[in-house]
Amino acid sequence: MTCAVSRALFPPERPAQPRHHIYRGRVEVLNAKTREQLCFLDKVHPHWYPARQALKLDPRGKSLRDDEILQNLPVGTTATMYFKDLGPDACFWTAAGFTKWLLPFLFFFPYIYSPRYAFTSSPHPVVTLACACHTFHYVKRLIETIFVHRFSHGTMPLRTIFKNCAYYWGFSAWLAYYINHPLYTPPSYGELQVNYALVLFVMCELGNFSIHWTLNNLRGDGSKSRKFPVPTKNPFTWLFFFVSCPNYTYELGAWVSFSVMTQCLPVALYTLLGFIQMTIWARGKHRAYSREFKNYPSLRVAIIPLIL
């Protein structure tokens, strides 16, 4: 029995709606050939549709994937699962990606300042370059969301969309305000600093895309067996020798280089917050890999080679 089936069978302990709105039924699961009873489930609540359901082995753990097999899960003779209602509405990932990534790079305009500086653009070329890099970053994310990424669930809870949009749109507007301000001052070391930062930014963006492409092709042979990512002939993937989540490493590198390129404090603060969040995600993924695969490389750490 897979979790996709289990989600329709296992109820939460407390229904989210008044009791008279929920049909309580019993489900008997039989072998199709022998008619032997495999299991019997009582007090089933078919109230939540699959897209809004999640099952966990631990209340604070990660949601189980739809293709998980019960007999392969780290449980004993009695499997205890925790149900989570993901919300009344959910958005498809493609629509979610457009919503999150489409607007952030549209905030770069010089018409939001006081009348003293109204319709006055910054004369420094680095401002235009920063706008191009920022736009490129989110266009890349859009393309990856549509063509590259594979998601464990087909939808995203609507409340998550509002949270993510508030984060990305808010920070993009905040960064744009300072970078595009007519009083913005260019980096201390001029073109040299900007050019070196630009090269690092482009390399990190290419590296990030390479890692996402490698993760997408992890099951390209059609196999359903679980694998952990390994380096390929692409030099950008060689970071897999040292870290479990090089996509976050490259993402961090891109924002560090953007911070150096613009020499703007709000960008640095945004990078720091992103680093903290990505570190949490990377460490969780690293622990999951280490638990699942006995032959997982011991040299690897979560996000920063040989350090973190």
Kindly report, residue by residue over 111-127, the tens digit of the pLDDT: 567 666 665 667 789 99
d(Cα 85, Cα 54) in Å, to the nearest integer? 7
Q: Name the range with the highest mean pLDDT among 9-23, 26-40, 209-223, 293-307.
A: 293-307
Tell me: pLDDT of 210 over 70.
Answer: yes
Q: If you average pLDDT over residues 145-157, what whole number do you get?
A: 68
User: pTM of this prediction?
Assistant: 0.71
Domain ranges in the chain are: 90-292
Torsion of CA 87, 92, 93, 96, to 10 degrees: -80
d(Cα 3, Cα 8) in Å, to the nearest integer? 9
Where residue 18 falls among pLDDT bands split at 50, 70, 90?
A: very low
25 pairs with which residues across the strands? 44
Tell me: pLDDT of 295 over 80.
Answer: yes
Q: Which residue has the tokens 């080679």?
A: 305
d(Cα 100, Cα 95) in Å, to the nearest integer? 9
Each residue's pLDDT tens digit, 47-94? 665 666 777 777 777 777 766 777 777 766 667 777 776 665 445 444
Each residue's pLDDT tens digit, 243-265? 999 999 999 999 999 999 999 99
Higher pLDDT: 151 or 287? It is: 287
Distances in whole angstroms, Cα of residue 123 to Cα of each of 120, 129, 186, 260: 9, 12, 10, 19
Tell me: pLDDT of 176 over 70.
Answer: yes
Summary mean pLDDT of the chain: 77
